[in-house]
Structures are given as C-alpha cells and as structure tokens.
C-alpha cells in the first residue's frame, strides 16, 4: 500500500521534475534550487508573521486559563509546561503536519500555511526541494511528537505516573531531531559549500537560528527535569524497600 502510493508519487515527481516548464525562477538559496511550479506569496510578510504569532499567543494564554480553571492546584511550573506542550503539539500537528502532507508541491501552495512555509523557507530551502532528512524528521515529528506533546499535557493535569518517562521520550525526539536539523544544514554549508538560507541576516538568525532554538532549550531542560524526577522516585523506592533493586 505504502509502496504503491510512493511509487505513484515517484512517477509523478520524475515526470514533473524533468519538464523545465514546471521550474520557474525562484528567490531561494542556493540559486538554481529546483522548486516545482513556484508561485510567489500574495500575502505580506507582516500579515503572515502577525497571524502566526497571534495564533500562538491566543493558544498559549487560553491554555493557561483553561488549565487553571480545570485544576486550581497546578503549580506555575506545571502550568507553564502544559502551555508549552499544547503550543508545541499544535505546531507539530498542524503547521509541520501541513508541510509533511504537502512536501511534493509546497512551492505552488497559496493557502495561509503554505505561504507561511514559503516565507520560512527563505531561511531553509530544503522545505521546498523534497529533502529526505527534513521530510522524514518532520513526518515523525508531526505524527508522533505532536500527539505525544498533547498526551503529556493531559498527563501533567492527571499527575500520571507515565508522565516523566513519556516526557523524556517525546522531548528527546524533538531535541535530537532539531540537533540533526541544525547540524545537517551546517555540514552542507561548511563542508559541501551548499547554503540553504538567503544571505539576509533576518532570515538566518530569526527564522533558522532563533525559531528552532526553542526546541533545543526547552526540551533539553524538560529531559533533564524528568530524568531527575524519575531517578529521585527510583532512589526513594530503593530506600523504602531497603534494596538497590527496582523491580
């Protein structure tokens, strides 16, 4: 089934990629990047960024009020972690999921999220050129780490015993995916001399470096925190049971 679908996609791709009429000029780096049926954005940059960050802000604050209403005993650490996992989960499922579902022809998309991706891709053209690593990493992220984030948010509310081990798994998925995302791009730039970001400072430093850094710093801290919490529980249990064995 997957084979058949992918074979069809491959036939489609080779047919389209071999026809220069489907490859209009585009402003992405490196110059000459092959982007199928590229269409320039019709929305302005302030509009695209404004809608994205406003949506994030609304989601972030409404999560705070809903969670606080459901359980008044939540600590501020728990509340901020719930806000992170709901926001991050929604970005994975809807924003990154859109790319994963439309990676073959994202360059021609004029939908709201499609235009957001074409704006972001000024800092990393791999999103528009069927790059194997970016597509596989983003597909796993949207299918597993996205729902995983939302499940953890619920587990924090429930103080579920599985919360910390699952949090290590999901945050590790985000952290390691992001490390490989940065390092593959740096490798192609420094070693192979292929640069995916346009030269303007804004694209590289704001979109590529800063926007992705959140998924290094926050999951990094959460992995550390859950490791300490799990080890503390195991250690206390070892003392309670008067043994150094867990099971």
Positions that interact with a copy of itself (CB under 8 A): 3, 6-7, 9-10, 13-14, 104, 130, 132-133, 135-137, 139-140, 159, 161-166, 168-169, 172-173, 176-177, 179-180, 183-188, 190-193, 223, 226-227, 229-238, 240, 244-247
Judged by beta carbon, residue 48 or residue 85, the one nearer a copy of itself is: 85
- Residue identified by tokens 């949090």 is 167
Output the smallest distance, CB 152 to a copy of itself, in A: 13
Task: State the nearest-atom distance from the C-beta of 65 to a copy of itself, in Å.
Answer: 22
Least Å from the CB of residue 143 to a copy of itself? 11
CA 174 to each of CA 7, 15, 120, 169, 170: distance values in angstroms, whole numbers, following the listed order: 29, 35, 19, 9, 6
Nearer to a copy of itself, 62 or 235 (CB): 235
- Nearest-approach distance from CB 150 to a copy of itself, in angstroms: 18
Among residues 8 and 66, whose Cβ is nearest to a copy of itself? 8
Of 35, 240, 234, residue with least CA distance to 131:
35
DSSP secondary structure code for residue 193 in this structure: -
Do residues 158 and 84 touch, judged by C-beta distance below 8 A?
no
- For residues 197 and 187, give the distance between their C-alpha atoms in angstroms, rounded to a whole number: 13
| Closest by CA position to 226, among listed 155, 121, 176 | 155
């Amino acid at each position: 089934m997957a084979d058949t679908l992918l074979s069809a996609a491959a036939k489609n791709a080779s047919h389209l990629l071999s026809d220069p009429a489907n490859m209009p000029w585009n402003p992405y780096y490196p110059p000459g990047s092959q982007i199928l049926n590229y269409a320039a954005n019709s929305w302005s940059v302030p509009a695209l960024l404004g809608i994205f960050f406003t949506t994030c802000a609304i989601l972030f604050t409404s999560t705070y009020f809903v969670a606080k209403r459901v359980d008044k005993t939540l600590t501020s650490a728990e509340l901020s972690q719930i806000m992170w996992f709901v926001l991050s989960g929604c970005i994975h499922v809807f924003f990154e999921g859109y790319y994963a579902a439309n990676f073959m022809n994202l360059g021609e998309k004029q939908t709201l999220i499609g235009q957001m991706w074409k704006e972001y891709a000024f800092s990393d053209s791999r999103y528009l050129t069927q790059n194997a690593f970016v597509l596989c990493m983003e597909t796993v992220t949207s299918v597993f780490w996205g729902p995983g984030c939302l499940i953890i948010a619920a587990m924090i509310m429930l103080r579920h015993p599985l919360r910390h081990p699952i949090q290590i798994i999901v945050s590790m998925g985000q952290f390691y995916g992001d490390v490989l995302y940065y390092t593959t791009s740096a490798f192609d730039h420094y070693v192979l001399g292929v640069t995916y970001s346009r030269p303007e400072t804004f694209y590289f430093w704001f979109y590529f470096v800063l926007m992705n850094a959140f998924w290094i710093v926050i999951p990094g801290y959460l992995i550390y925190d859950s490791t300490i919490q799990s080890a503390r529980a195991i250690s206390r249990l070892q003392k309670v049971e008067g043994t150094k064995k867990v099971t």
